[in-house]
Amino acid sequence: MLIIHPTDVTLLGAPLPGVESIAVSREAARFVFERTDAGPHTVFADAPEQAVEITILRAIEGPQPAGPIPGQQGALVFIGALSGADGPARRVSAAVVVRSARIELSRRKGASQRIELTALSADGAADPITVQEVNP
């Protein structure tokens, strides 16, 4: 999921201005394969352990308060169209833990911040990302 220019972004209970994009990626933390004696190919595969990673990219203008600290936990909430187009707005929320917060400098783009988060499931089975349609 890629959200371009989300609105009303809050992270750990504080507003987060200047967010240009939020990317939600999923990957298998552990993968299981099964084979049979009938041949060399896999007959079953599963991802019993998964990780949901979130990357926030934001522009920095002027003095900024200290950013999030790795290990901090709290909520990420924002509103955006999932397609990046003029589709219906959706409210996306997740309990997260901060993995890193880096300042990046570029002559072309100026100063920006990359915040990397891991989404946390409430019970291990529920999807850690909640998406709700926002009524106009």
Q: What is the CATH number of the domain that holds 109?
A: 2.40.30
Query: Rounded mean pLDDT of the chain?
Result: 90
Q: Report how many domains make up the chain.
A: 1
106 touches 112 (CB < 8 A): yes
**Cα separations in angstroms, 59 against 42, 64, 82, 103:** 46, 11, 21, 10
Q: Name the pTM for this structure.
A: 0.85
Give the pLDDT confidence score for residue 72 in this predicted structure. Answer: 96
**Cα separations in angstroms, 29 against 51, 73, 93, 95:** 6, 20, 22, 19
| Domain span holding position 77 | 2-34+41-133
Give the pLDDT confidence score for residue 84 in this predicted structure. Answer: 53
